[in-house]
Amino acid sequence: MIMNTEILTDYLNEQCNEYTKQKVVNWLENDPKNKAYFEELKFYWDTNSLATENLEFDSEKALIKLKKKKTALKQFHIRKLMRYAALVALLLATSITSILMFNQNSNQILVENKDNIDKILNLEDGTTILLAQGGSISYPKQFAANERLIQLTGEAFFKVAKDKSKPFIITTSLTKTKVVGTSFRISEDISNTFIRVESGIVEFMQIDDPGNKVRLVKGEMAKFVEKQNVVLKGKLELHNDQFKINHLAYQNEKLESICNDLTELFNIKIRLEGDQIPQLLMTATFADQNLYNILESISFSLDLEIEKKKDYILLK
């Protein structure tokens, strides 16, 4: 159930069923911010209920002529409507005040999406952001003179307004994306960050190693994998094994460890035959190569054979 002010006012007025009551209770217990909001709501509800207790019809004779049940019901709805309208007006006023106080105490604006649908954000520079459920975005009240910097957690779609003098930069916990004007989607999980470009040109890089980057155009995507500090690049319609590794280097590394990395990077199982092959050591650098290019280099260097099975690749 999506919580809103009207449901909460019904709860305060004891006009909701047991199912809704329990949902409200769960909502209150789920987040201290929810409880704080409810307490503020309750304060204004109680305040306005006092102001509406004296609501009466002008003519006492008219009340006598009407049926008691109809009168009571009508009176209840009028009171509820007036109290609800007054409450909304007061909450709007206090919400504006809260926002102003927040902005006065911080140079950053934080937006979190706890709804079940994408939240639409329109920035002052003309950029539009669709923030997915569970995501958050932080950005300054006023962009710097030389850049437009955004911090993203979760997933979002960006349609960036063009401004060559102010590149638009999105940082996540692992990556940094730099654009001038384009549209793309970024998503991250615990150890991976993905980007899909729909228009324009994008630079996608490791946040603490800007040299580990790729340049993407329309129809391309990339993935950064934290464990190996590797960026993979490819076309949207390609399979994982056709994506190209930007840079991957090994120094006297066991083949078993290298193949474990390749399995994780390309999401394809690689098996090694026997007990000796996994222990073979290899020194190599792979750049701008897909999985099969890499495996061919390995097989040539170590004098192995590649056999493609239905669900895995065998080196023997």
Do residues 184 and 261 both lie within one domain? no
CA dihedral 44, 45, 47, 52 (to 10 degrees): 140
Do residues 99 and 135 both lie within one domain? no
Do residues 145 and 175 both lie within one domain? yes
Which residue range is the domain that position 29 belongs to?
5-105
Predicted local distance difference test score (pLDDT) of residue 43: 56
CATH of the domain at 164: 2.60.120.1440
Do residues 266 and 291 both lie within one domain? yes
Do residues 255 and 299 both lie within one domain? yes
In a domain, 44, yes or no: yes
Do residues 209 and 267 both lie within one domain? no
Do residues 91 and 135 both lie within one domain? no
CATH of the domain at 256: 3.55.50.30
Cβ neighbours around 237 below 10 Å, total:
8
Q: 97: Cβ–Cβ under 8 A, 6 or more apart, which residues?
A: none
Strand partners of residue 177: 170, 204
Q: 116: Cβ–Cβ under 8 A, 6 or more apart, which residues?
A: 2, 133
Do residues 84 and 160 both lie within one domain? no
Instruction: Write the DSSP symbol of residue 274.
Output: T
Q: How far apart are CA 288 and CA 49, in angstroms?
A: 70
Do residues 116 and 172 both lie within one domain? yes
If DSSP codes are grouped into helix, strand and coil, which group holds residue 312?
A: strand
Among residues 207, 238, 269, which one ends one of the domains?
A: 238
CA angle, residues 16, 22, 23, in degrees to nearest 5: 90
Predicted local distance difference test score (pLDDT) of residue 42: 66
Do residues 233 and 123 both lie within one domain? yes
In a domain, 243, yes or no: no
Predicted local distance difference test score (pLDDT) of residue 294: 93
Among residues 190, 214, 238, which one ends one of the domains?
A: 238
| Sites in the chain below the pLDDT cut of 70 | 1-6, 9, 15, 36-37, 40-106
Do residues 87 and 120 both lie within one domain? no
Do residues 97 and 158 both lie within one domain? no
Predicted local distance difference test score (pLDDT) of residue 310: 84
What are the angstrom distances between the C-alpha of 275 and each of 250, 253, 263, 298?
21, 16, 19, 17
pTM of this prediction? 0.62
Among residues 178, 210, 238, which one ends one of the domains?
A: 238
- The closest of 170, 161, 168 to 138, measured between CA atoms, is 170
Q: Are 45 and 83 in contact (CB under 8 A)?
A: yes
Q: Provide the number of structural domains found in the chain.
A: 3
